[in-house]
Amino acid sequence: MESMLDSLITSQTRVKLLLKFFLNPESKSYLRELAEEFGESTNAVRLELNRLAQAGLLTSAEEGRTKVYQANPRHPLFPEIQSMVRKFTGIDQLIPQVLSQLGDVHSAFIVGDYAKGIDSGIIDLVLVGSVDQAYLQKLIDKVEPLIRRKIRFLTLSEEELERFKTTLRVDEGIALISDQ
């Protein structure tokens, strides 16, 4: 079964770029890094980067001799594209269904591949607070088939979050709920 984005956008490279930049708009990358990450030629990636930049969906800036690309949050379609990307990955369902009923959650972050804009099929979720883990697992078991992705979770206290913040790269993550 084809996904919404795959049927709407026939270029797989373009789909990968939209995921990369719109899952986490803070994400920045350059041509060779993207080509290597996607396992594609620099020409294929360059063509799509240029199209997205010409459409104003991506911005680029020179950092030394390297052109670095990033999502353009000021583009009028930015909220809609980000919403589509989140629907495609299932993050839109994960947030309200799972997080709203967990108890005393102070912060929640998506880290790992999805935070980097890579649709690996595994969503890494870090929850901070007092969470009923058995209930959380039941919710995840319900959501996973809907979004066709695995969800791994880690629950931490505020102190543990401070201790593991750097290791988990929370600062590079996508904040779902944040007291930070």
Domains of the chain: 4-81 (1.10.10.10), 90-177 (3.30.460.10)
**Beta strands 28-30; 103-111: pairing state:** unpaired
Please answer whether residues 86 and 92 qualify as being in contact, where contact means their C-beta atoms are separated by less than 8 angstroms.
Answer: yes
Q: Which residues pair with 155 in a beta bridge?
A: 127
- Alpha-carbon gap, residue 45 to 42, rounded angstroms: 5
- Whole-prediction pTM value? 0.59
Hey, what are 165's tokens?
A: 């913040």
Average pLDDT value for residue range 41-69: 93
- The least confident of 37-41, 52-56, 161-165 is 37-41
Kindly report which listed range (43-57, 91-105, 149-163) carries the lowest average pLDDT score: 91-105
Type of residue at 175: A
Least reliable range by pLDDT among 84-88, 106-110, 123-127, 152-156: 84-88
79-111 tens-digit pLDDT = 889 888 877 776 666 665 566 677 788 888 889
Distance (Å, whole) CA 121 – CA 119: 6
Question: β-strand 103-111 against 122-131: which pairing, if any?
Answer: antiparallel
pLDDT given at position 12 = 76
